Amino acid sequence: MRLFIFLLFTLFLLSSLEDESIGATSHSLKFGEHGEKKADLSIGKDVYERTCASCHNLGISGAIKINDKEAWKKHIHHGIDHMVESVIRGKGAMPARGGNPNLTDEEIEAAVHYIIKQAQ
Ligand code: HEC
């Protein structure tokens, strides 16, 4: 828990530094701003690595492994909305929002996009 708070704090510091930098070099990761597709995936990667990788990298507690394309195909078949919904609510051994209640729906959607991208 302490590590988590530390990480949040670090992120907060980093984002406030970014806001202060001037002009073209500062780029925001927020949605709806420049290069949405790219931002989407970089947020997704970030969220995935911070919250989801602990289970999905190695397939802990029956989680589908990130690189198990065949297994993901079945889920992708049900549609991304369904996948996002399952993560938000939690499913089986997966806690709601992957165990991080601070994640927004958009961040979860971005992480699911990232997973789908890796499974293609
Ligand atoms: C505590 C381990 C754990 C964490 C952390 C975790 N997952 Fe999962 N995830 C699982 C397990 C286990 C399943 C399989 C659930 C089942 O079908 O019973 C699963 C299933 C899924 C599915 C398929 C759901 C469906 O119905 O199609 C998606 C998508 C997914 N996880 C995404 C994520 C994302 C995104 C995160 C991070 C925000 C995340 N998971 C964090 C364990 C985890």
How far apart are alpha carbons 1 and 17 in whole angstroms? 24
9 — pLDDT class (breaks 50, 70, 90): very low
Residue 20 Cα to ligand 1 midpoint, Å, equals: 36
Single pTM value for the model: 0.77
Nearest CA to ligand 1 atom 19: 63
Cα separations (Å) of 11 from 17, 73, 91, 106, 112? 10, 33, 28, 17, 21
Quick check: 40 pLDDT over 90? no
The CATH number of 49-120 is: 1.10.760.10
pLDDT of residue 25: 42
pLDDT digits (tens, 9 = 90+) for 83-106: 999 999 999 999 999 999 999 999
Contacts of 71 (CB under 8 A, 6+ apart): 64, 65
Residue boundaries of the structural domains of the chain: 49-120
**CB of 112 sitting under 6 A from ligand 1:** yes
What distance in angstroms lies between residue 114's CA and the mean position of ligand 1's atoms? Answer: 13
Protein residue whose Cα sits closest to atom 18 of ligand 1: 92
* Rounded Cα gap, residues 98 and 12, in angstroms: 21
Asked if residue 84 has its Cβ within 6 Å of ligand 1, the reply is: no
> Measured between alpha carbons, how far is 43 from 76 in angstroms, rounded to an integer?
20
- What is the number of other CB atoms lying within 10 angstroms of the CB of residue 98? 24
In angstroms, how far apart are the furthest CA atoms of the chain?
Answer: 46
